[in-house]
């Protein structure tokens, strides 16, 4: 430890001050020596002429460098805190046992459970219901050689442990002072298309751990599409692809995610993108007036189509206990032709039967979305759907509680985000200009590096690069970075993991705090490299 001894005389008392030039507060040996000398003076063992024992002052601490960055840090003078063998993690509430055991294992500490005594070096986790700024907020106090992390919920306390873990990464020190932190947005997600490209359970589990450390709270699994159906099914085993996840594997993923306060949001897309289901049930394939099959589209005029999709929604509700469910609803090919009623007379007839002489194919499709929403709502799930599943000018309106996943403004009859927001919809941002990682880079997509997300994107930038008015901010629940498998062999799963590493970190930063970041992109990337 670099330092200088400075002697001052005041009121007849000599004061020794060690002025540290170390920003991390290391140097506990000198401090311990000072304490020992003071102890001997108190018992009269030191000579009368001995110099007074040295004490230490420290520079004001610096805010921790973490991803995402903390919202507020009140600096203080002190040595900070480092984990060490023999130090304890204690909890003030049994509900924090999982968080306590996890951080204890990660930092090599002893988990002591509930304990009221205080020891040097303790890390204490506590609940303070009703005192936090929000349900995912936390306060972390580093003082006197101890750390206390408190929050109104176990989720907030968990996020505090993620901050601490990053602070002490690689032998660093948690700086003295108080962190007060909370996310800007309640939905902070990552979605992966496991239908078109198979990913191993281990790969997904690794992403869960990564997401947890970055304070994400959603993992979306798009597991049904034209190219594959990737989770085992008891009700319809005939539709499952050869490469798939077992239910036991999915349960393990869901449990791992829950331990990190991540909800798994499943998606069985319909009435389009159902090619894997249709392959086993060709009688449900949508065909036009000439009898030509429409790729990936199920015939929603047939009762059996609704029955098989509802069977699957009911079956997987037990596998995915989280609150939200993505119903898809995008790119139904019956609606991309110039005259859907003429091209698909069976759909037009079903629409008129259901909704009267003015019923349209778009009405029928909206009714399909509402019916599937009712199916998941019966399991106490909140439905969401892609924005191009909401159609302009229909007599049948989408149910008000269906959240809009806004990803594109390129579809036929594209509606700007303001139309959804002004109608009172709650929206989740999947902006395909910034937040899409599309394998093979088709249709002018490119692999994002994260820089544009970090420097340009905010949750209010729903379409293109223009932000919606600030008055809509509360309706934008958050956002999600998404990996799509259009050309599944374009990258291996390990290449995908490497490619999304910085975009995930940039997205995490902007969902936690949408304000302009204090670090430059170069500094942010270097920080990510140091944190691993």
Catalytic machinery residues: 331
In contact, 76 and 143? CB cutoff 8 Å: yes
Distance CA 370, CA 366 (A): 6
- Two tokens at 54? 């040295």
Dist CA 130 CA 141 (whole Å): 18
d(CA 498, CA 486): 18
**DSSP string of 150-205?**
EESSHHHHHHHHHHHHHHTGGG--BPSEEEEE--S-SEEEEEEETTTS---HHHHH
Take residue 152 and report the two structure tokens written for it.
Answer: 């109104």
Task: Give the Cα separation of 46 and 353 in Å (integer).
Answer: 101
Helix (H) or strand (E) run with residue 280 in it: helix 275-280
Distance CA 520, CA 452 (A): 12
Q: Which residue has the tokens 């003429």?
A: 342
d(CA 229, CA 244): 7
Q: Are 477 and 460 in contact (CB under 8 A)?
A: no
127: left (phi over 0), alpha (psi -120 to 50) or beta: beta
The tokens for 506 are 């940039």
Output the six-digit token pair for 201.
């359970």
For 114, phi and psi rounded to 5 degrees? -80, 125
Residue 476, beta-bridge partner list = 427
Q: Are 133 and 156 in contact (CB under 8 A)?
A: no
Pairwise CA distance, residues 102 & 156, whole Å:
15
Distances (CA, A) of 313 to 20, 115, 175, 288: 62, 45, 48, 27
> Which one, of 212, 207, 214, 181, lies nearest residue 505 by Cα?
214
Tokens representing 115 are 């304990």
Q: Which of 405, 435, 388 is nearest to 324 (CA)?
A: 405
Collapse the DSSP code of 250 into the 3-class scheme (helix H, G, I; strand E, B; otherwise coil) and give the result: helix
């Amino acid at each position: 430890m670099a330092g200088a001894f400075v002697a001052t005389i005041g009121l007849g008392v000599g004061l020794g001050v060690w002025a540290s030039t170390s920003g991390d507060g290391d140097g506990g040996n000198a401090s311990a020596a000072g304490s020992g000398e003071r102890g001997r003076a108190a018992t009269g063992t030191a000579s009368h002429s001995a110099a007074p024992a040295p004490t230490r002052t420290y520079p004001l601490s610096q805010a921790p460098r973490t991803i995402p960055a903390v919202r507020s840090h009140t600096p203080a003078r002190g040595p900070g805190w480092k984990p060490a063998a023999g130090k304890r993690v204690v909890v003030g509430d049994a509900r924090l046992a999982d968080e306590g055991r996890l951080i204890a294992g990660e930092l090599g500490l002893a988990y002591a459970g509930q304990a009221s005594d205080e020891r040097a070096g303790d890390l204490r986790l506590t609940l303070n219901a009703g005192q936090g700024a929000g349900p995912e907020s936390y306060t972390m106090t580093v003082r006197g050689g101890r750390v206390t992390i408190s929050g109104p919920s176990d989720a907030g306390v968990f996020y505090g442990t993620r901050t601490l873990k990053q602070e002490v990464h690689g032998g660093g020190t948690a700086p003295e002072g108080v962190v007060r932190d909370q996310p800007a947005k309640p939905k902070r997600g990552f979605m992966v298309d496991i239908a078109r490209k198979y990913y191993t359970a281990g790969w997904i589990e690794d992403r869960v751990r990564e997401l947890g450390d970055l304070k994400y709270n959603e993992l979306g699994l798009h597991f049904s599409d034209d190219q594959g159906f990737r989770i085992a099914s008891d009700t319809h085993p005939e539709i499952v692809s050869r490469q798939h996840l077992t239910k036991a594997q999915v349960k393990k993923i869901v449990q791992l995610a829950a331990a990190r306060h991540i909800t798994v949001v499943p998606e069985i897309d319909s009435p389009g993108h159902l090619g894997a289901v249709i392959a086993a049930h060709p009688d449900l394939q949508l065909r036009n007036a000439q009898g030509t099959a429409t790729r990936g589209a199920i015939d929603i005029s047939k009762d059996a189509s609704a029955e098989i999709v509802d069977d699957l929604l009911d079956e997987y509700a037990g596998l995915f206990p989280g609150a939200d469910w993505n119903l898809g609803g995008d790119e139904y090919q019956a609606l991309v032709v110039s005259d859907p009623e003429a091209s698909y007379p069976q759909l037009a007839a079903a629409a008129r039967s259901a909704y009267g002489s003015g019923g349209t194919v778009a009405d029928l499709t909206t009714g399909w979305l509402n019916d599937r929403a009712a199916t998941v709502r019966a399991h106490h799930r909140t439905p969401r759907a892609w924005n191009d599943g909401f159609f302009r000018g229909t007599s049948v309106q989408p149910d008000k509680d269906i959240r809009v996943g806004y990803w594109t403004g390129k579809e036929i009859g594209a509606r700007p985000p303001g139309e959804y927001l002004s109608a009172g919809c709650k929206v989740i941002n999947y902006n395909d200009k910034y937040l899409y990682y599309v394998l093979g880079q088709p249709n002018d997509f490119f692999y994002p590096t994260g820089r544009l997300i970090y420097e340009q994107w905010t949750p209010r930038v729903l379409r293109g690069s223009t932000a919606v008015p600030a008055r809509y901010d509360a309706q934008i629940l958050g956002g999600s970075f998404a990996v799509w498998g259009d050309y599944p062999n374009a990258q291996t799963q390990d290449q995908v993991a490497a490619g999304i590493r910085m975009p995930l970190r940039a997205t995490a930063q902007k969902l936690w705090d949408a304000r302009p970041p204090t670090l430059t992109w170069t500094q942010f990337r270097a920080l990510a490299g140091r944190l691993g």
